[in-house]
């Protein structure tokens, strides 16, 4: 099994960053990830203002995928996520949705015990997910804390075991990296962080030649989730709606107007996160309607 060790981290997705490893499609790979706080929170008096932000949001990689070319979709099949036994959550003034309300910084360490996360005497079911996953963008450089077309810090709950993430390859070799695993998170990630844990993520990578989506797509057993990340949630929701209509047009060969009405009948719009530099909206379509992504990804428009 090929393993990308947790020391191999990047803080930006960019074309010029040298890959740490080359892997063949279909080859299983393990990414050892560090928590999004860079392992800096080890006690409840490690508050947010003491963090070195240059060490926040490390992503493990990048990995070059042999044969990946611009215009392909990189399929990342998430086989398993093994969690560390302790995570942390932080909040503070000026951060998160209620950054104007919270008066003092707060840090909590969270024990991960079996299938539960312990918080304030409660047992929350673990639901592991990858917060940051992406490839090198077409141009420029994106900090790992920022999401856009290349993926990045999308903080989508659906990016967990059993799901496949389709990313648009924009550079030869794709240059995949990931990190920021959460043991559990609610849509919105309202306080600015979730149960931030180190993890071991096992994936299988595949290429769909010519199948690049415009924005990252997640496929689960039941759903297609279209993820759009833009500076405001309003812009992101508008574009996610366009993506849902486009997906319906492609999958069902419908004209725009029919697909627009069908989107209103069948697409569930929502929020993945409201707290990162770009906000992430999602449009969720049932596979009973559109089928698997790979059946229609190459179709026009």
Task: Report 178-197 residues binding Ca ion (CB under 5 A).
Answer: 180
Shortest Å, Cβ 166 to Ca ion = 20
E strands within 57-175?
Answer: 59-65, 73-83, 86-91, 106-113, 116-119, 122-125, 129-134, 142-143, 151-153, 164-168
Q: Which is nearer to Ca ion, 153 or 249 (CB)?
A: 153
The answer for 120, left when phi > 0, alpha when psi is -120 to 50, beta otherwise, is: left
User: How many beta carbons lie within 10 A of that of residue 77, not counting itself?
Assistant: 17
35 or 155, CB closer to Ca ion?
155
Q: Which is nearer to Ca ion, 143 or 172 (CB)?
A: 143
CA distance 256 to 86: 48
Check if the beta carbon of residue 41 is closer than 8 Å to that of residue 88: yes
Distance in Å, CB of 131 to Ca ion, minimum: 4
- Shortest Cβ contact with Ca ion: which residue? 131
Least distance to Ca ion, CB of residue 227, Å: 13
- C-alpha count within 13 angstroms, C-beta hemisphere, residue 151: 34
- 37 or 212: whose CB is closer to Ca ion? 37
| By CB under 5 A, residue 8 contacts Ca ion | no
Question: Which of 74/156 has CB closer to Ca ion?
Answer: 156
Among 60, 107, 144, 153, binds Ca ion (CB under 5 A): 153
Site string for Ca ion, 118-137 (x = CB under 5 A): -------------x------
C-beta separation of 70 from 169 below 8 A? yes
Contact between 51 and 8 (Cβ < 8 Å): no
| Residue ranges in contact with Ca ion by CB under 5 A | 131, 153, 155, 180
């Amino acid at each position: 099994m090929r393993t990308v060790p947790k020391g191999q981290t990047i803080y930006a997705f960019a074309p010029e960053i040298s890959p740490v490893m080359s892997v063949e499609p279909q080859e299983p790979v393990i990414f050892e990830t560090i928590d999004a706080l860079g392992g800096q929170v080890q006690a409840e008096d490690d508050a947010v203002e003491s963090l070195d932000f240059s060490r926040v949001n490390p992503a493990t990689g990048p990995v070059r995928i042999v044969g990946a070319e611009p215009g392909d979709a990189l399929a990342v099949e998430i086989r398993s996520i093994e969690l560390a036994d302790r995570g942390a959550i932080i909040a503070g003034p000026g951060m998160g949705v209620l950054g104007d309300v919270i008066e003092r910084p707060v840090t909590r360490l969270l024990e991960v015990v079996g299938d539960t996360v312990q918080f304030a005497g409660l047992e929350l079911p673990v639901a592991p997910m990858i917060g940051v996953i992406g490839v090198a963008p077409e141009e420029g450089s994106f900090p790992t804390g920022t999401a856009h077309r290349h993926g990045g810090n999308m903080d989508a709950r659906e990016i967990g075991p059993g799901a496949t993430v389709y990313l648009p390859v924009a550079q030869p070799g794709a240059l995949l990296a990931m990190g920021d695993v959460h043991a559990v998170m609610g849509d919105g990630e309202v306080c600015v962080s979730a149960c931030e844990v180190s993890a071991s993520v096992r994936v299988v990578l595949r290429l769909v030649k010519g199948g690049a989506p415009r924005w990252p797509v997640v496929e689960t057993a039941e759903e297609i989730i279209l993820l759009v990340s833009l500076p405001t949630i309003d812009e992101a929701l508008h574009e996610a709606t366009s993506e849902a209509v486009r997906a319906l047009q492609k999958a069902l060969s419908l004209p725009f107007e029919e697909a627009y009405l069908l989107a209103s009948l069948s697409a569930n719009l929502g929020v993945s996160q409201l707290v990162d530099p770009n906000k992430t909206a999602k449009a969720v379509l049932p596979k009973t309607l559109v089928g698997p992504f790979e059946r229609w990804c190459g179709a026009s428009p």
